[in-house]
Every structure is written in C-alpha cells, then in structure tokens.
Chain A
C-alpha cells in the first residue's frame, strides 16, 4: 500500500515537474463599475467568435471558460451548442451580431425575442481569439524493428494565446466590459528511447486566467 502511494506521489510530482512554464497577462476594462442587481433565474452565455477568416475561437476554450464561471458563481451558464441549436440560424458565424446594438435588430424578430426571454438570458460573453504555435525547433527520429524500437532527439515549440472576452448586458442593452488574456509558453520533448513531453498548458492557463477575471467581474470584486 505504501509502495503504491509512494508511486502515485512520485508520478504526480513528476507530472508537476514536467509541466512547461507559461506566462499570462490579463487586461480588464469595465464600462460600468457596478453591475445592476442579478435576478434569480437569469442566465449567461459564453459564445466563441467564428467570423474571422484566418482563425477560429476553439470550442474547448469556450467550454472551459463557461465551466469555470458556472462553478464559481451563482450564474447559470448555458451550453454553447445547445444555445446555437435553439437560436439557429441567428448566431451562426455569418449571422451573429457583432455589436451590442445589433441585438436590438435581432430582438425585433418576435421569435428570437421570445426565445431569449424564455431563456432569461442576461449576459452574453463573446470570446474572440485563438492559440497558435508560433515557433518550433529540433527533431525527433523513431525506429521500430523486430528487436524493439525507440526514439532519439529533442523538439521544442512555442505557443501563444491571444483572447478577448466582451461582456454584453442584454437587459441594459450595453457592453459591460472587456477582458483580454495574452499567454505564451514553450513546450519541450526530449526523447531518449521514450519521448517525454513537457507541455506548457498555454490555452488552459489563458482560459483559467480569463475565467477567474470574469468570476471577479460577476461577483463584484474590485
């Protein structure tokens, strides 16, 4: 039993030690210092922007932010795919409102207005950005033969995340604030027989930092 615990502890320590370093810079801009009172039953929605031609906000990043906001506030956060299907085709990449004033045009459609009222959707959080591999270097070669196999070499790659979250208050029909998160980190993979990845969790760290800021925003932290 003790041996198993010792093995588990060593494995956890090894994983922690093998995580690459990531730096995250967060910038927040509030249009209004004070959020108006939150009514019971009101919901929020985290949506990814997908209209840009050369990148796409990743669905797993949107899901990650939504999960953290849901778990750390009193706010019920609607799942993105469920909402997109319910309101189809009004929030598709080509049709989604780009500015908060476009919501008025959308609300002029009786069926859309009714669906949003039934949902009690209060806050819309748009996330725009992506994580990209900016540099990579090194090489790893692997070989397999009847006698066995193995890899040898060293590789590294750098990732950068650049996201902006914009919060719209649909009740007040105005933008509430913006949070931007820039993160970067380098991952390494040395290989001596077995490749050992030392991964920098760039996107995950950007998500956590941005979600933490959003949680503070909704909880009224200064």
Chain B
C-alpha cells in the first residue's frame, strides 16, 4: 500500500515537472546611480505593456509562456524616476497638451527571443528583447522613435530549475534595459537636440 502511494507521488512529481512551461518573471531592480536630467518625464504604461505575456509558437519548445509585463513595468517605475527630475505615470497617452511632464515616453515590446542549453549546447540560458520607445513633448509632437535592446544570460546552475534559470536571464536582460535607458536616452540624437533646446530656452 505504502509502495503504491510512493509510486503515485513520484509519477505525479515527474509528470508535473515535465509539463512546467510557464515562467512569471520576478526580480528586484535597483534605482540607478546617476545625476537626473533637468526635465520631467511622463511614462505611458499601457495594458499591452503591463500585462505582456510572450507565447511561443513552436509547440515542442520548452518555455511556452513567459509573463514579463509586471516585471518590466516594475523596472521602468524604478529606473525612470532617477533618470529624470520629475516623474509621472499614465496608462494611456495623455490628451495633449499635457503640461504635467515635459517629455512623454511610451515603450512597447517588439520582439522577444530566448535560447535554452539544449538548443545551443552552451551551459547558458539567453534572452534578447527588443523595445520600441516613442518620445513626445508636452504638445504631443513626436520627438523620437528609437529601438532599445536588452540582453541577458545566466548559467544553468546545477540543481537550479530551468524556470529559475530562465527567470534569472530575463532579470539580467531587464537590468540591461534599465542600464541602456539610464545611460543612452540622453544620447539619442533627437532627445539630445531637444534637451539642448530646453536648456537654451531656460537660460534665455
């Protein structure tokens, strides 16, 4: 009787672990150490972004569904208040003119790819994410529309589940997105020109 129960439990555990195909990304993100830009920013986090779930089309691939929306929103909510002097958030583009922020950023996710050790023969999980960012001024004029890429990898450590390893790679990729936004936004040519215009205007 005892042996039968044990066998059932082992079979159930093996079956469930083989079917685990969903990863909900979870991580903590630090605020960046940087002098903020002297402008206020509004972040538009729409429903497509905050509840984004990646669905893999190839049926026999491991990791069919990746729930990224909440974690990528959390990253932007942590990073952007340190990059700009003022910060506000909306879930849709505001009715312009929108004077409560000088610059409105509207991110969207364009592509996500991942690779597992069994596909690459490397002892690594890798993730690539492509984001599109649109920037508007307070009058609603499109200032810039640029691509930001994020890359993360992590070793598939012994005894670590594949879900944990893929989650770790995704967290590294989101940290990379945060680093990119923190350091590169001010160097996007259109944003740089616009910032110079703002500063010139302030000094007049």
Query: What is the minimal beta-carbon distance from A160 to any residue of chain B, in angstroms?
Result: 12
Q: How far is the CB of B186 from chain A (nearest CB, A)?
A: 13
User: Given A54-B122, A94-B179, is A85 in contact with B30 using a C-beta cutoff of 8 Å?
Assistant: yes
Question: Quick one: which of A88, A130, A132, A148 contacts B33, CB cutoff 8 A?
Answer: A88
Assign chain B's interface to a size class: 20 to 34
* Contact code string B128-159 (vs A, CB < 8 Å = 1, else 0): 00000000000000000000000101110100
Q: Is the CB of B176 within 8 A of A111?
A: no
Binds B, one of A18-26, A55-63, A168-176, A208-216: A55-63
Interface SS of A by simple majority: loop
Q: Would A111 and B157 be within 8 Å (CB), given that A144-B10, A146-B3 are in contact?
A: no
What string of 1s and 0s marks CB contacts (under 8 Å) between B163-187 and chain A?
A: 0000000001001101110110000
Evaluate contact between B178 and A89: CB separation under 8 angstroms.
yes
- Whether a CB of chain A sits under 8 angstroms from the CB of B123 is yes
Chain B's closest residue to A58 (CB) is B155
Q: Give the Cβ gap from B103 to chain A, nearest Cβ, in Å.
A: 20
**Once the chains bind, are A56 and B124 in contact (CB under 8 Å)?**
yes
B80 → A minimal CB distance (Å): 13
Contact assessment for A89 and B10 in the assembled complex, using a CB-CB cutoff below 8 Å: no
Residue B32 interfacial (CB < 8 Å):
yes
In the assembled complex, B7 has its CB within 8 A of some CB on chain A: yes
A92-B3 contact given A58-B155, A58-B157, A111-B35, CB 8 Å threshold:
no
Contact A93 B3 (CB under 8 A): no
How long is the Cα–Cα vector from A130 to B180 in the complex, in angstroms? 26
